[in-house]
């Protein structure tokens, strides 16, 4: 059995199913051990039964009854035990997802999604398997073997003791073999992965290979790996076959011992010279000997399970440990108790000597920023890639913790605000324009549960993507992503802007999200912002000056520091860095517009 604090509630929930399952398994185990007894009678009382069909009918009736009980029992235990084990899997998955939703960005920054996925998939499967097949194996190993051994001992204890030697060998071999298997299997998997990776890399880097005319060499290298695969596969197969052959040979030896010693006992009994052990006559009939054959047949699987269950449990234990560690991850961004609930927010934001360091960083991403954004102001934030612009977003949404007394929304320290209410106040169009594989409509209306189609259209025209969407055959019902339509970078950005606008929040943050749209579209969107966000606080982060020049004020960031803050016409005069950006921008426009005067 497997225990842990995250499993207790499942035991509580599913104990009845487990109990029913285990009881049924035991019933089946016991019923199974009756069959050899009937075989023994049929052989020993052969002549009598041929003469007395009524008695034969009784035996056959019992066989049918056992078969019926087994059928019902097997059906019930499969349903109940696997219902419980899949229930545990579903429950753990749910708990883990809810946990994942509460973990902050800093957790995702340091933990690879691939690792989390492994905990969600193979580790949960391992634990659930243990509760399913593991339970079956444990019960069978204990009860089927006990039931068999009891029957055998009652029939002939000496023969039983003799047979236990090879039978226990099967359990040992099961334990030992499983370890060997795991090792070889991993080896084989590793070689296969190598083959797969090599092919994958070769096909991806085919350009290089062709440009250096190295196909022949690559084929030779692939051949080496393919050969190695051939070898490890043959070795694995050999282990597999050997494993079976050894078990089967042990069984044959056990049967030989049984038939030899048992046959001799039957002979001795028949000739009236039974051997005497500890003063007792050891008697055996041919039917009883066959009954023994039946028991040996039955006891092989539980012995094998006995060996297997140990390594199965250790794997499940390891998986459970990783799952528990994930569920135990401490939260770093915690919603304050009695936090200030922002209602009817005005959209006033103040950075007061604001410095921001990422949890794993040494140098601040932003330092000593002091600006005040009045309600309704449109602010542009401009700077090169890596200048620290995104840190504003991470702080403003409390995706990370910030120092107290440095960042205020509507006059409230952000560290004292209720997080959901804070996030309700601000709408966001991200830099990486991440969209879900869902319909366009659901993506745009992501911020609210109910879809208002009119608002979706309005938001689409705000982001100048309405025509694009409507040109798709399925319009707003177009499904995006892997199995759906792929949008161009610019279209994605605009859908993501529409999603942010749909929220109609007091504060709108657009994080470098017009970089992939052409100049004309950008101008339309900027115009829409000016008109439709008039009187509502709007922050536009950009790397191009043209994007921000029409904002009320512009903040220029360089290496995490604010080097200027003011309206465009002021900055052109007072900030040389800004003026240079403006000049280069104009030049770029001319170059891209065509060398008409060249």
Partner 1 sequence: MDDEKERLSGDRKMSLGEILRHSRPYVAKEKWAIIFSLLLIALYVGAGIALPMLTSQLVRVLQEETNSQTLSMVVGIVAGYAALGLAEQGVLYLQSMTLQKAGQRIVYGLRMEVFEHIENMSLNQFNQMATGSLVTRACNYTAAVSDLFTSVLVHLISNLLTVFGVLGIMMFISIRLSLYLLIFALVAGVTSFFFGKIVRRIFHKERQYISDLNAFLSENLSGMRITQIFNQERRKSSEFDEKNQNIRRANYQVVLAFALYRPFLNLLYYGSIAVTFWVGLSIALSGAEIVAFYLYLSRFFNPIQNIADQLNQISRAVTAAQRLYSLLEVQPEVVDPPDAIEIDHFEGKIEFKNVWFAYEGEHWILKDVSFVVEPKTTTAFVGATGAGKTTILSLIVRNYAIQKGQILIDDIDIATIKIDSLRKAVGQMLQDVFLFSGSIRTNLTLHDDEFTDEEIRAATDYVNATPFIERLPNKLEEEVLERGENFSAGQRQLLSFARTILHRPQILILDEATANIDTETELLIQDSLEKIKTIGTMLVVAHRLSTIQHADNIIVLQSGEVLEQGSHQALLKKRGYYYKLYQLQYAEQEG
State yes or no: residue 87 binds partner 1 (CB under 8 A). yes
Per-residue DSSP letters for 501-551? Answer: HHT--SEEEEES--TTS-HHHHHHHHHHHHHHTTTSEEEEEESSHHHHTTS
How many residues bind to partner 1 according to rule CB under 8 A? 134
Stretch that binds partner 1, among 221-229, 312-320, 368-376, 514-522 (CB under 8 A): 221-229
- β-pairing, 280-281 vs 507-511, is unpaired
Between CA 72 and CA 24 the distance in angstroms is: 9
Q: 190, 237, 277, 325: which one contacts partner 1 (CB under 8 A)?
A: 237
| H/E stretch holding 546 | helix 545-548
Q: 187, 437, 488, 574: which one contacts partner 1 (CB under 8 A)?
A: 437
What part of residues 184-203 is at the interface with partner 1 (CB under 8 A)?
Answer: 192, 195-197, 199-203
Query: Smallest distance from the beta carbon of 29 to partner 1, in angstroms?
Result: 13
State yes or no: residue 49 binds partner 1 (CB under 8 A). yes
Q: 97, 176, 331, 472: which one contacts partner 1 (CB under 8 A)?
A: 97
Query: Smallest distance from the beta carbon of 567 to partner 1, in angstroms?
Result: 26
By CB atoms closer than 10 A (0-12, 13-18, 19+), residue 123 is buried
Q: Which two tokens stand for residue 371?
A: 């600006």
Query: Smallest distance from the beta carbon of 223 to partner 1, in angstroms?
Result: 6
State yes or no: residue 99 binds partner 1 (CB under 8 A). no
Between CA 187 and CA 176 the distance in angstroms is: 17
Q: Which two tokens stand for residue 446?
A: 């992501």
Query: Smallest distance from the beta carbon of 516 to partner 1, in angstroms?
Result: 13
Q: What are phi and psi of 277, to 5 degrees?
A: -115, 130
What part of residues 11-40 is at the interface with partner 1 (CB under 8 A)?
Answer: 35, 38-39
State yes or no: residue 337 binds partner 1 (CB under 8 A). no
Q: 208, 334, 485, 534: which one contacts partner 1 (CB under 8 A)?
A: 208
Q: 245, 277, 325, 534: which one contacts partner 1 (CB under 8 A)?
A: 245
**Cβ-based nearer residue to partner 1, 224 or 474:** 224
User: How far is CA 254 from its chain centroid?
Assistant: 46
Q: 458 near 445, Cβ under 8 Å?
A: no
Stretch that binds partner 1, among 64-72, 136-144, 522-530, 556-564 (CB under 8 A): 64-72
| H/E stretch holding 542 | strand 537-542
Residues 6+ away with beta carbon under 8 Å from 8: none
Q: 8, 19, 252, 325: which one contacts partner 1 (CB under 8 A)?
A: 252
Query: Smallest distance from the beta carbon of 87 to partner 1, in angstroms?
Result: 7
Q: 20, 103, 451, 479: which one contacts partner 1 (CB under 8 A)?
A: 103
**Cβ-based nearer residue to partner 1, 420 or 527:** 420
Q: 387 near 445, Cβ under 8 Å?
A: no
Q: 3, 15, 75, 176: which one contacts partner 1 (CB under 8 A)?
A: 75
Q: 548 near 556, Cβ under 8 Å?
A: no
Between CA 507 and CA 421 the distance in angstroms is: 13
Q: 258 near 289, Cβ under 8 Å?
A: yes
Between CA 553 and CA 544 the distance in angstroms is: 15
State yes or no: residue 582 binds partner 1 (CB under 8 A). no
State yes or no: residue 482 binds partner 1 (CB under 8 A). yes
Stretch that binds partner 1, among 1-9, 142-150, 204-212, 308-316 (CB under 8 A): 204-212
State yes or no: residue 207 binds partner 1 (CB under 8 A). yes
Nearest to 77 by CA among 152, 167, 144, 6: 144
Query: Smallest distance from the beta carbon of 497 to partner 1, in angstroms?
Result: 13
Residues shown for the chain: 598
**Cβ-based nearer residue to partner 1, 264 or 472:** 264
Query: Smallest distance from the beta carbon of 591 to partner 1, in angstroms?
Result: 5
Per-residue DSSP letters for 369-415? Answer: EEEEE-TT-EEEEE--TTSSHHHHHHHHTTSS---TTSEEETTEEGG
**Cβ-based nearer residue to partner 1, 42 or 371:** 42
What part of residues 491-530 is at the interface with partner 1 (CB under 8 A)?
Answer: 503
State yes or no: residue 389 binds partner 1 (CB under 8 A). no
**Cβ-based nearer residue to partner 1, 226 or 357:** 226
Q: 301 near 144, Cβ under 8 Å?
A: yes
Task: Look at residue 262 and give its three-state secondary structure.
Answer: helix
Q: 497 near 510, Cβ under 8 Å?
A: yes
State yes or no: residue 100 binds partner 1 (CB under 8 A). yes
Contact code string over 396-435 relative to partner 1, x by CB under 8 A: -x-x--------------------x--xx-x-x-x---x-
Between CA 548 and CA 552 the distance in angstroms is: 9
What part of residues 282-301 is at the interface with partner 1 (CB under 8 A)?
Answer: 286-287, 289-290, 293, 297
Q: What is the 3-state secondary structure (H, E, C) of 455-503?
A: HHHHHHHHCCCHHHHHHCCCHHHCEECCCCECCCHHHHHHHHHHHHHHC
Query: Smallest distance from the beta carbon of 540 to partner 1, in angstroms?
Result: 17
Task: Look at residue 340 and give its three-state secondary structure.
Answer: strand
Query: Smallest distance from the beta carbon of 169 to partner 1, in angstroms?
Result: 15
**Cβ-based nearer residue to partner 1, 279 or 594:** 594
């Amino acid at each position: 059995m497997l225990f842990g604090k995250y499993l207790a509630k499942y035991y509580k929930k599913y104990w009845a199913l487990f109990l029913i399952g285990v009881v049924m398994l035991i019933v089946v185990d016991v019923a199974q051990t009756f069959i050899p007894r009937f075989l023994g009678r049929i052989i020993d009382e052969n002549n009598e039964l041929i003469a007395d069909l009524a008695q034969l009918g009784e035996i056959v009736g019992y066989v049918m009854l056992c078969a019926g009980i087994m059928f019902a029992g097997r059906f019930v235990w499969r349903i109940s035990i696997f219902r419980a084990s899949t229930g545990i899997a579903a429950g753990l998955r749910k708990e883990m997802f809810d946990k994942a939703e509460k973990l902050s960005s800093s957790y995702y920054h340091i933990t690879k999604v691939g690792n989390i996925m492994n905990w969600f998939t193979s580790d949960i499967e391992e634990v659930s398997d243990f509760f399913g097949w593991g339970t079956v194996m444990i019960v069978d190993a204990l009860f089927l073997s006990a039931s068999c051994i009891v029957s055998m001992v009652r029939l002939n204890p000496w023969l039983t003791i003799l047979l236990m030697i090879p039978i226990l060998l099967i359990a040992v071999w099961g334990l030992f073999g499983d370890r060997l298997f795991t090792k070889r299997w991993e080896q084989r998997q590793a070689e296969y992965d190598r083959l797969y990776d090599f092919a994958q890399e070769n096909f991806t880097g085919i350009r290089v290979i062709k440009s250096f005319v190295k196909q022949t060499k690559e084929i030779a290298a692939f051949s080496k790996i393919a050969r190695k695969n051939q070898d490890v596969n043959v070795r694995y197969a050999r282990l597999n076959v050997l494993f079976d052959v050894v078990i089967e040979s042990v069984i044959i030896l056990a049967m030989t011992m049984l038939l030899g010693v048992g046959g001799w006992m039957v002979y001795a009994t028949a000739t009236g010279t039974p051997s005497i052990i500890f003063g007792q006559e050891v008697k055996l009939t041919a039917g009883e000997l066959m009954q023994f054959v039946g028991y040996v047949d039955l006891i092989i699987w539980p012995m094998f399970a006995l060996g297997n269950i140990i390594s199965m449990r250790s794997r499940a234990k390891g998986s459970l440990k990783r799952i528990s560690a994930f569920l135990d991850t401490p939260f770093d961004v915690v919603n304050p108790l009695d936090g200030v609930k922002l209602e009817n927010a005005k959209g006033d934001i103040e950075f007061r000597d604001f410095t921001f360091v990422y949890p794993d960083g040494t140098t601040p991403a932003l330092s000593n920023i002091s600006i005040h954004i009045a309600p309704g102001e449109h602010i542009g934030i401009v700077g090169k890639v890596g200048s620290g612009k995104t840190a504003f977003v991470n702080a403003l949404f409390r995706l990370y913790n910030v120092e107290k007394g440095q960042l205020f929304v509507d006059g409230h320290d952000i560290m004292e605000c209720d997080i959901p209410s804070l996030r309700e106040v601000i709408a966001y169009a991200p830099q990486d324009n991440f969209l879900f594989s869902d319909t366009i409509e659901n993506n745009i209306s992501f911020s609210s549960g109910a879809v208002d189609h009119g608002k979706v259209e309005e938001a689409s025209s705000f982001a100048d993507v309405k025509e694009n969407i409507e040109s798709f055959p399925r319009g707003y019902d177009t499904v995006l992503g892997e199995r759906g339509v792929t949008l161009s970078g610019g279209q994605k950005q605009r859908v993501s802007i529409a999603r942010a606008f749909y929220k109609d929040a007091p504060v709108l943050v657009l994080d470098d999200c017009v970089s992939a749209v052409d100049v004309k579209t950008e101008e339309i969107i900027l115009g829409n912002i000016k008109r439709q966000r008039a009187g509502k606080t709007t922050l536009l982060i950009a790397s191009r000056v043209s994007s921000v020049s029409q904002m009320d004020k512009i903040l220029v960031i360089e290496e995490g520091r604010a080097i200027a803050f003011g309206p465009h016409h002021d900055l052109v005069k007072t900030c040389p860095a800004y003026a240079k950006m403006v000049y280069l921008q104009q030049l770029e426009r001319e170059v891209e517009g065509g060398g008409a005067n060249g």
